[in-house]
Amino acid sequence: MITAGVDIGSLSAEALIMQDGKILSYAIGKTGAKVKMAAEEVINKALKKASLTRDRIDYITGTGYGRVTLDIADRTVTEITCHATGAYYLFPNTRIVVDIGGQDSKIIQLDSRGKVVDFVMNDKCAAGTGRFLEVMANALELDIEELGPLSLKSRKNVPISSICTVFAESEVISLIAEGCQRRDILRGLHEAITSRIIGMGSKLRWDGEVTMTGGVAKNTGIAHILAKKIACPMNIPEEPQIVGALGAAMVAQRTRSGSHE
């Protein structure tokens, strides 16, 4: 059985193709203004990598911010379910999933079978998300990929008083004018983001392994600080952006086979 998961986020789109529980291929692209076109592009790229044609796919599940627009999907499922399913597939001891996407953040608690027990979500504010980091990178005149490695070189934390995107940007510009090192400002930003994540998940039970998903998991500075602050082992997938699409493809496998496990 061949299934696909398509995850359309606010900033990026991912598609993953799976056969009998094994990943065949995946593709990542930008969502842009044309959501349907972004979905078509990533599914076609994933098909090409797997040397498959569209008619070979038995079932497609859509997820993410733009899932309601996906004509190609046989079914749509929330990203909470899909990130939990994908993270559990990769790391079966996962009990907490921290998903920081383009414009929202989620913390999901799982049981020993990978089922969602509880979750908290912030989709009202972009603070600490991929969009927030893009704005900070622009203010610091850095590429987004430079933020994590540069912050790890810091030996001094410059506290950031606000994590609101507008106020934080203004504060960063002021700190640069005062002569603060960019690496130290970044460390302060990452400290503020991780504190916010932990605060968001304060009502959840942090035990077992924690798995980070979403594009922000690629920021080594945030991952490093979060790992230090939590008293749990932490996993970073090789490609954290595809976890939602992976979970969607797994949901498609289970749906097609009639299994609800």
pLDDT band with cut points at 50, 70 and 90 for residue 122: confident
Q: What angle separates helix 130-139 from helix 182-200, to the nearest 10 degrees?
A: 160
- Mean of pLDDT over the chain: 92
Which is nearest to 212 in space by CA: 97, 90, 88?
97
Dihedrals φ, ψ of 115, to 5°? Answer: -85, 145
Helical H segments across 50-181, by residue range? 79-90, 130-139, 147-151, 165-177
**Tens-digit pLDDT profile for residues 25-69:** 999 999 888 888 999 999 999 999 999 999 999 999 999 988 888
Q: In whole angstroms, what is the distance from residue 115 CA to residue 220 CA? A: 28
Token reading at 231? 């008293």
Average pLDDT in the 74-82 region?
95
- Structural domains of the chain, ranges and CATH numbers in brackets: 1-91+239-261 (3.30.420.40), 95-236 (3.30.420.40)
Q: Tell me the pLDDT band of 124, cut-offs 50, 70 and 90.
A: low
The pLDDT tens digits of the residues spanning 197-227 come to 999 999 998 888 999 999 999 999 999 999 9
pLDDT digits (tens, 9 = 90+) for 35-44: 889 999 999 9
Query: How far is residue 214's CA from residue 101's CA, in Å, rounded to a whole number?
Result: 5
Burial of 142 (0-12, 13-18, 19+ CB in 10 A): middle
Tell me which H or E stretch contains 122: strand 116-122
User: 95: number of CA atoms within 13 Å, CB side?
Assistant: 12
Position 120 confidence tier, pLDDT thresholds 50, 70, 90: very high
Angle between helices 79-90 and 243-257 (to 10 degrees): 90
Give the Cα separation of 168 and 151 in Å (integer). 17
Distances (CA, A) of 95 to 32, 44, 109, 154: 33, 33, 6, 31
Residue with the larger pLDDT of the pair 96 and 165:
96
Token pair for residue 22? Answer: 């094994």
Give the model's pLDDT for residue 195.
Answer: 92
Instruction: Read off the tokens for 175.
Output: 């700190």
* Predicted structure pTM score: 0.92
Average pLDDT over residues 62-90: 93
Q: What's the chain's length in residues? A: 261
Judge contact between 152 and 224, C-beta under 8 A: yes
Over residues 162-172, mean pLDDT: 88
Q: Which ranges of 91-242 does DSSP label H, i.e. alpha helix? A: 130-139, 147-151, 165-177, 182-200, 220-229
For the four alpha carbons of 243, 126, 147 and 38, in that order, the dihedral sign comes to positive
CA distances from 147 to 9, 53, 63, 191, 246 (A): 22, 39, 28, 13, 27
29 vs 9, 14, 87, CA distance in Å?
A: 10, 6, 21
Nearest 5°: phi and psi at 165?
Answer: -55, -45
